[in-house]
């Protein structure tokens, strides 16, 4: 079945589109139309992001805005297209994936001169939909909205959510569910899988063209380097080492780190079965389809390296015509990943403990705390926040996490000794800790509660409130205590499902 061509009229200038992907990368996508939907309703518009992106909201009626964010009308200047890519999914290679339920409307340049993709997710079938319907349910759409905006507020590179619209149609999943469309904003949607698609087909010139485009868009300073393609690999390795360290520091499990879900820009993308940990558990897995725990919390750094190795393979032919030499070059690069990652992670962990300049034996201090937290199933987010109170002389909240506090007390003594020799005053340490240890994360039970109300009775008030609280994760908010707590016991073991 071909995508529904729909009936579209261009409406006035909501976006100042400037579409480089469509113009420069012919052969890397297929042009495509959105499907029309029966009765779209705006669930949420991210007005702050709209303003950063220079959207002309004042000049476009609310009705036209809803029509645009639902795909019923195309905004002026849009060049809608589905990008093609491949990818390793749970270790197995799929030579053709691509945007099956997403459509790039175009690119905009924001107030800081940064370029962003504007994409509709759930807007109907494309050439790459395979057996799927190209649609999205309101659950996965609002989940991505909540999670991606929370990650942004937490200071973690991520795609953003600009709008969520209910389409007014029911789509078939296990049962019929209300359909919705997310407008997603990303530095770009170029994935490791985009390179893999062309490399697997032996299209070396296309790999080069894509690499040139990625360099110009994300790492323009590399253009002049000796071997720009090797430098590109190095830059992506660095961006991903930093990104994954931030996931590990905040307790985030992505859940489906396939190579088609890993960006060249270093942004978190594709919020499907992801979740935040409550109690600290290195083996935490939430995705119902990740039976082997391939994408468990502690596996994220090595999986990132595995994925980057797939990127390196895809770039070999453009890195050096002598393939042995190319392999040698990328191997050196890839081997540096664990060290790069560990350095970022340890620096981040030290900040969580109020230490600014990391020393080598800080690793033991950190690991010993984590081991204790694991043993006593300590809530990851609140313990770190409560540690700052210990420095003001109030042990109570921190102690409550441990049924046996003797070993924890010994650890606290070591930590206090370490802080005494650090260059920061206690006040400065507390300040540093409170800047990096959030009070509010998207607690799984709160996310589910918000989605349930939206799915079952189209009540978006819990979703609204949750998004609002998560907008300021590091600041104590009056009357919002319920958002700080981990899930109650009755919530049980948390299982997530892929976001279709
Ligand atoms: P994901 O697991 O979300 O990364 O998606 C993997 C691939 O499946 C991508 O190529 C998606 O575009 C495609 N896909 C997922 N859901 C649908 C759907 N409902 N209709 C068409 N394609 C889909
Ligand atoms: Mg994906």
- Looking at ligand 1, which residue's alpha carbon is closest to its atom 14? 100
* Residue 179 in contact with ligand 1 by CB distance below 6 A: no
Torsion of CA 329, 330, 332, 338, to 10 degrees: 170
* Residue 272 in contact with ligand 1 by CB distance below 6 A: yes
Residue 497 has a pLDDT of: 86
Nearest to 164 by CA among 138, 146, 182, 179: 182
Residue 54 has a pLDDT of: 94
Q: How far apart are CA 138 and CA 140, in angstroms?
A: 6
For 427-441, how does the pLDDT look when each residue is reduced to its tens digit (9 = 90+)? 999 999 999 999 999
pTM: 0.97
Q: Roughly what angle, to the nearest 10 degrees, separates helices 300-319 and 323-335?
A: 150
Rounded percentage of the chain residues whose pLDDT exceeds 90? 95
| pLDDT, average across residues 4-11 | 57
CB 297 within 8 A of CB 282: yes
For 73-131, how does the pLDDT look when each residue is reduced to its tens digit (9 = 90+)? 999 999 999 999 999 999 999 999 999 999 999 999 999 999 999 999 999 999 999 99
Nearest to 380 by CA among 472, 297, 471, 281: 281
Burial class (CB in 10 A: 0-12, 13-18, 19+), 1: exposed
For 367-413, how does the pLDDT look when each residue is reduced to its tens digit (9 = 90+)? 999 999 999 999 999 999 999 999 999 999 999 999 988 999 999 99
Residue 404 has a pLDDT of: 86
What is the b/e burial string over 216-250, where b = at least 16 CB atoms within 10 angstroms of the residue's CB? ebbbeebeeeeebbbbbbbbbbbbbbbbbbbbbbb
pLDDT mean across residues, the chain? 96
Determine which helix (DSSP H) or strand (DSSP E) holds 153, and give its type and residue range: helix 138-153
CA 193 to chain centre: 16
Distance (angstroms) between ligand 1 centre and the Cα of 102 equals: 8
Residues with a catalytic annotation lie at 260
Residue 360 has a pLDDT of: 85
Distance (angstroms) between ligand 2 centre and the Cα of 193 equals: 10
CB 32 within 8 A of CB 79: no
| Nearest atom within ligand 1 for CA of residue 131 | 21
Residue of 498 and 449 predicted with greater confidence = 449
Kindly tell me the number of DSSP H helices and DSSP E strands found in the chain.
Answer: 17, 14
Distance (angstroms) between ligand 1 centre and the Cα of 97 equals: 8
Distance (angstroms) between ligand 1 centre and the Cα of 500 equals: 7
Phi, psi of 109 (to 5 degrees): -110, 130
Q: What is the pLDDT confidence band of residue 2, given thresholds at 50, 70 and 90?
A: very low
Check pLDDT > 70 for residue 8: no
CB 173 within 8 A of CB 162: no
Residue 1 has a pLDDT of: 42
Match 């070999």 to its residue by tokens. Answer: 316
* Residue 76 in contact with ligand 1 by CB distance below 6 A: no
Q: How far apart are CA 258 and CA 160, in angstroms?
A: 20
Residue 13 has a pLDDT of: 83
- If one residue of 83, 85, 129 were mutated to test the ligand 1 pocket, choosing by the most ligand atoms within 8 A of its CB, it would be 129
* Residue 98 in contact with ligand 1 by CB distance below 6 A: yes
Q: Counting ligands in written order, which one lies closest to the CA of residue 295?
A: 1
What single string gives the DSSP state of each residue in 42-79? EEEE-HHHHHHTT--GGGS-HHHHHHHHTTSSEETT--
Match 């012919």 to its residue by tokens. Answer: 26
3-class SS at 387? Answer: helix
For 286-331, how does the pLDDT look when each residue is reduced to its tens digit (9 = 90+)? 999 999 999 999 999 999 999 999 999 999 999 999 999 999 999 9
For 38-62, how does the pLDDT look when each residue is reduced to its tens digit (9 = 90+)? 999 999 999 999 999 999 999 999 9
* Residue 379 in contact with ligand 1 by CB distance below 6 A: no
Which chain residues have CB less than 5 Å from ligand 2, an ion? Answer: 261, 270
Could you state, in order of their start, the residue ranges of all structural domains in the chain? 10-189, 202-336, 353-500
Distance (angstroms) between ligand 2 centre and the Cα of 260 equals: 6
* Residue 238 in contact with ligand 1 by CB distance below 6 A: no
């Amino acid at each position: 079945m071909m995508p529904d061509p729909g009936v579209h009229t261009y409406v006035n200038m909501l976006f100042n589109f400037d579409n480089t992907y469509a113009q420069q990368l012919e052969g890397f996508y297929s042009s495509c139309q959105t499907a029309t939907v029966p009765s779209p309703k705006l669930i949420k518009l991210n007005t702050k992001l709209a303003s950063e992106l220079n959207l002309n909201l004042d000049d476009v009626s609310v009705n036209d805005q809803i029509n645009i964010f639902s795909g019923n009308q195309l905004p002026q200047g849009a060049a809608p297209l589905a990008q093609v890519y491949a990818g390793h999914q749970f270790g197995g290679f799929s030579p053709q994936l691509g945007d099956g339920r997403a459509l790039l409307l175009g690119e905009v340049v924001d107030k800081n001169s940064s370029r962003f993709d504007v994409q509709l997710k759930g807007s109907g079938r494309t050439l790459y939909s395979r057996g799927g319907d190209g649609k999205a349910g309101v659950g996965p759409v609002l989940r991505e909205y909540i999670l991606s905006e929370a990650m942004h507020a937490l200071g973690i590179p991520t795609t953003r959510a600009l709008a969520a619209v209910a389409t007014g149609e029911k789509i078939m999943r296990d049962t019929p569910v209300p359909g919705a469309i997310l407008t997603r904003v990303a530095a770009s949607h170029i994935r490791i899988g985009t390179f893999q698609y062309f490399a697997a087909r032996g299209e070396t010139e296309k790999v080069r063209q894509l690499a040139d485009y990625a360099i110009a868009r994300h790492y323009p300073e590399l253009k002049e380097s000796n071997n720009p393609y090797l430098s590109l690999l190095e830059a992506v390795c660095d961006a991903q080492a930093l990104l994954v360290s931030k996931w590990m520091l905040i307790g985030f499990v992505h859940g489906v780190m396939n190579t088609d879900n890993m960006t060249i820009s270093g942004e978190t993308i594709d919020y499907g079965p992801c979740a935040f940990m409550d109690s600290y558990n290195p083996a935490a897995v939430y995705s119902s389809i990740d039976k082997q725990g391939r994408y468990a919390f502690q596996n994220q750094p090595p999986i990132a390296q595995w994925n980057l190795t797939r990127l390196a393979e895809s770039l070999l032919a453009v890195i050096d015509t002598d393939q042995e030499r190319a392999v040698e070059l990328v191997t050196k690069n890839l081997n540096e990943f664990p060290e790069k990652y560990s350095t970022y992670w340890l620096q981040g962990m030290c900040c969580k403990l109020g230490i600014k300049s990391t020393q080598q034996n800080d690793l033991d201090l950190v690991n010993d705390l984590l081991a204790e937290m694991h043993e006593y199933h300590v809530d990851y987010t609140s313990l770190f926040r409560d540690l700052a109170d210990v420095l003001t002389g109030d042990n109570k909240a921190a102690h409550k996490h441990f049924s046996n506090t003797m070993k924890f007390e010994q650890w606290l003594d070591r930590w206090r000794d370490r802080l005494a020799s650090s260059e920061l005053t206690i006040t400065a340490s507390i300040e540093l800790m409170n800047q990096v240890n959030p009070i509010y994360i998207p607690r799984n039970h709160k996310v589910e509660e918000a989605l349930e109300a939206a799915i079952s009775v189209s009540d978006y008030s819990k979703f609204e409130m949750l998004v609002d609280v998560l907008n300021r994760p590091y600041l104590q908010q009056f009357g919002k205590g319920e958002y700080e707590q981990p899930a109650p016991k009755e919530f049980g073991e948390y299982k997530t499902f892929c976001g279709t």
